[in-house]
Amino acid sequence: MTAALALARRVLAWLVPALPRARVAWVRTALAVMAVLDVRYFLNSTGERGATPDLFAPVLVAEWLHLPPVTDGVAQMLFVGVHLGAAAVALGGFTRVPAAVQHAGGLVLGGSYLLWVLWAMSYGYVSHDHMAIVIGMLVLPTAGTSRYGGGPAADSVAGWPLRMIQLFTVLTYLGSVLAKYVFSGGSLLRWATSGTLAWAFIRRPNDVNQLLVQHALLLRAAQWGALLLEIVSPAVFALRGRWLALAIGAFMSFHLATFVLLGIHFLPTVVCWSAFVPWERLPAWWRARRRTAALAPA
C-alpha cells in the first residue's frame, strides 16, 4: 500500500514537476519569437487564403470553433495580434514591467497564434512540426508571472507547462514512430526498407539530395538511423547536464540534415527543445562573467 502510494507520488512529481519559474519567461519568449517568424516567413499561408474560400477543409478544432474560411481582414488582425502579444511577452519578462503585460500578452499571442495555425492547417495539408509549440502557447499562460532574472526558484505550477512542452516535443518523434508502425501495416521493418527517402528526395529535388537519390544502400541506412533516433527520443528525460546537451545536439543535427536534404526546417519543434535548457542560470552566469572581467587586471 505504502509502496503504491510512493510510486503514485513519484509519477505525479514527474508529470507535474517543480521546475524553475524563471525558465518559463525564457521559453515563452523563445516561442513568441518563433511565432512572429512563423507568421511572417514560414507558415504565412493564412494571409494568402482569402482568395480561395472554396478550398477550405477545416480541421476538427476549427469546426468546433465554427471558423468560416479566413478573410484577408481577419488574417491581418491575427498577424498584428501575434506581433503585439509576442512583444508583450518578451518585454513582460523584465522585472520592471507590470505582470499584467505578460499575462495579457500571453493570452493575445496564444489566441492569435492558435487561430492562425488552425486556418493554415485547414486547406488540405496538415504539417507535423506545429504540435508542441501550439500546446505550449496554450498552457504557458497557466504558469502565471515569470521573470528572466527569477533565478533557480522552482514550483510545479511553473513546471507543468514546461513539462507539457518537453513531453509533446518528444512525442513529436515517438508519435511519428507509432504513425510509421500504423501506416506500414504494423511493421517498422517495412518502413525502414521502403523507398520513402528516395521518394522524398524526388518530391523535393535539390543539389544535395540529387547526389544521393540513386544510392539505395545509403538511403536505407539513413532511414534506419532516423527511425532509431525517433525511437530512443524519450531517453532525453533520463539525461542531465552534458549528456542532455549532447542529445539535444543530436536532434538539432537531425533537423539540420533534413533541412539540407529536404528543405524541411521543423523550427517550431526545434524551438520547443528550449524547455529542456536551464536558461534560468543565464543571468547569474552573465553577471559573474562581467564581474570577473571587471576584476581582471587591464
Partner 1 sequence: MGAFWRVGVMVLLVGVLVAAQFLRADHWYPLGSLGQYAYPRDPDGDVINTYVMGVTTTGDEVRVGLTPGSAGISRVEFEVQLPEFQADPDLLGDIVEAWQDSHPPHVLTSVTVYENISPMSAGALASEPYDTVVLTWEVP
136 vs 146: CA distance, rounded Å: 15
Residue 123 main-chain phi, psi, to 5 deg: -130, 40
Shortest Å, Cβ 254 to partner 1:
13
Interaction between residue 144 and partner 1 (CB under 8 A)? no
Cβ atoms within 10 A of the Cβ of 269, count? 21
Shortest Å, Cβ 292 to partner 1:
41
Residue 68 main-chain phi, psi, to 5 deg: -80, 170
Comparison of 256 and 284: residue with beta carbon closer to partner 1: 256
- How far apart, in Å, are the Cα atoms of 34 and each of 28, 38, 257? 10, 6, 20
Binding partner 1 by CB under 8 A: which of 10, 40, 215, 289? 215
How far is residue 110 CA from its own chain's centroid? 14
Tell how many helices (H) and how many strands (E) occur in the chain: 14, 2
Residue type for 139, please? V
Binding partner 1 by CB under 8 A: which of 3, 5, 54, 95? 54
What residues numbered 255-294 form the site for partner 1, per CB under 8 A? none
Shortest Å, Cβ 90 to partner 1:
23
Shortest Å, Cβ 250 to partner 1:
19
Q: Strand, coil or helix: what is 57?
A: strand
Print the binding letters for residues 96-135 with partner 1: x by CB under 8 A, - otherwise.
Answer: ---------------------xx--x-xxxxxx-xx--xx
Pairing of strands 154-155, 19-20: antiparallel
Binding partner 1 by CB under 8 A: which of 30, 198, 247, 275? 198
Interaction between residue 41 and partner 1 (CB under 8 A)? no
Comparison of 125 and 296: residue with beta carbon closer to partner 1: 125
Number of residues near partner 1 (by CB under 8 A)? 66
Burial call 36-58: b when 16+ CB within 10 Å, e when fewer: bbbbeebbeebbebeeeeeebeb
Q: Which residues are at the interface with partner 1 (CB under 8 A)?
A: 12, 15-16, 44-45, 48-49, 51-52, 54-55, 57-61, 117-118, 121, 123-128, 130-131, 134-135, 156-157, 160, 163-164, 167-168, 171-172, 175-176, 178-184, 190-191, 193-203, 213-216, 219-220
